[in-house]
Chains A and B, each alone.
Chain A
Amino acid sequence: MATTSASYTLEQRPEPTARPKLLSNGVLGMLIFIFTEVMFFAGLVSAHTIVRSQAAGQLWPPYGQPRLPVPETAVNTAALLVSGIVLVLAWFAFRKDAVNARIPLLLSIMLGTFFVGFQGVEWVALLGEGLTMTSSTYGSFFYLIVGTHALHAVAALGGLGWAWLRLDRGLLTTSQLATVSAFWYFVVLVWPVLYLKVYL
């Protein structure tokens, strides 16, 4: 009596269909890093919110502390946002023809550099007015949050500069541009939140 057997052997099984990659390794790694950074900034913003709610007499900035340059920083914020928009244009230009992305990418880097430089000028003025890391919790949070963001901005600008150099040599790949751009978009998009929480 013959026993029942499988209708096909292992070798006859259909090959699994390989799906194309959803994301490049670089972009995936950067997105995971950005997720952790989002939580880091969320922690800072939350701590700021708690400390602000505990301020004596709900007075914020505390009495005797200098006021932050709100309108000037609004202009700087606009420069940063425009930098992000120009980077989007650089991306589309790159997809059409890589060489076309050189000018918008450079413009985006210049606007980002302006943002960081302006922040530096602002810091020098505030230090001159007596706002330091140790002058109050107001000063501590200002320099901690804005300083951390500036550090990220400098790192992201370094990435964009590296991308521009590779583009200039004709070596930049789509994945590389997407990876460094993702980091810059994070820097651009997190700033308005920080501006609203810290400056206003």
Chain B
Amino acid sequence: MRHIWVAAIALLLLALFPDAAQACPVCFDSSDENRRAFILTTAFLTLLPLGMVAGAGLWVRRRVRQIDEEAAGSDRS
């Protein structure tokens, strides 16, 4: 019960200081171009590995089905 209270207070404190969190001079500045670059690269680096893994998974699935169909075809003949 005590842990929940500590976590709730920590969350509340964090919620009160978003401006302080965004004040990092490396991550945010007044330039829109810079902000856009951060958003784009974050999206790019997040989606790229997911896309590659999904692509590999889809390819394996398709290939397995293809092999199974070929095997079923040769069994029938």
A contact set with B: CB distance below 8 Å: 17, 19-20, 22, 31, 35, 38-39, 42-43, 46, 49-50, 52-54, 58
Contact = CB atoms under 8 A, between A and B. Distances in A.
26 contacts: A19-B64, A19-B67, A22-B63, A22-B64, A22-B67, A31-B56, A38-B52, A39-B48, A42-B44, A42-B45, A42-B48, A43-B45, A46-B41, A46-B44, A49-B37, A49-B41, A50-B34, A50-B37, A50-B38, A50-B41, A52-B37, A53-B31, A53-B34, A53-B36, A54-B31, A54-B34
Interface in B31-77: 31, 33-34, 36-38, 40-41, 44-45, 48-49, 52, 56, 60, 63-64, 67-68, 71
Interface residues of B, number: 21
Given A17-B71, A42-B44, A46-B45, A35 B52 contact: yes
A137 to B, nearest CB: 14
A39 B67 contact: no
B33 to A, nearest CB: 5
Nearest to A19: B67
A31 B60 CA distance: 13
Contact of A53 (B33, B48, B52): B33
A138 to B, nearest CB: 16
A35 B55 CA distance: 12
Given A19-B64, A39-B45, 19 more contacts: A17-B71, A19-B67, A20-B67, A22-B63, A22-B67, A35-B52, A38-B52, A39-B48, A42-B44, A42-B45, A42-B48, A46-B41, A46-B45, A49-B37, A50-B41, A53-B31, A53-B34, A54-B34, A58-B33
Contact of B29 (A39, A46, A54, A58): A54
A46 B64 CA distance: 35
A149 B7 CA distance: 47
Main secondary structure of the interface of B (DSSP, over half): helix
A39 B49 contact: yes
Contacts of A46: 41, 44-45
Contacts of A58: 33
A53 B67 contact: no
Nearest to B68: A19
B33 A22 contact: no
Contacts of B38: 50
B29 A49 contact: no
A50 B31 CA distance: 11
A45 B38 CA distance: 12
Contacts of A35: 49, 52
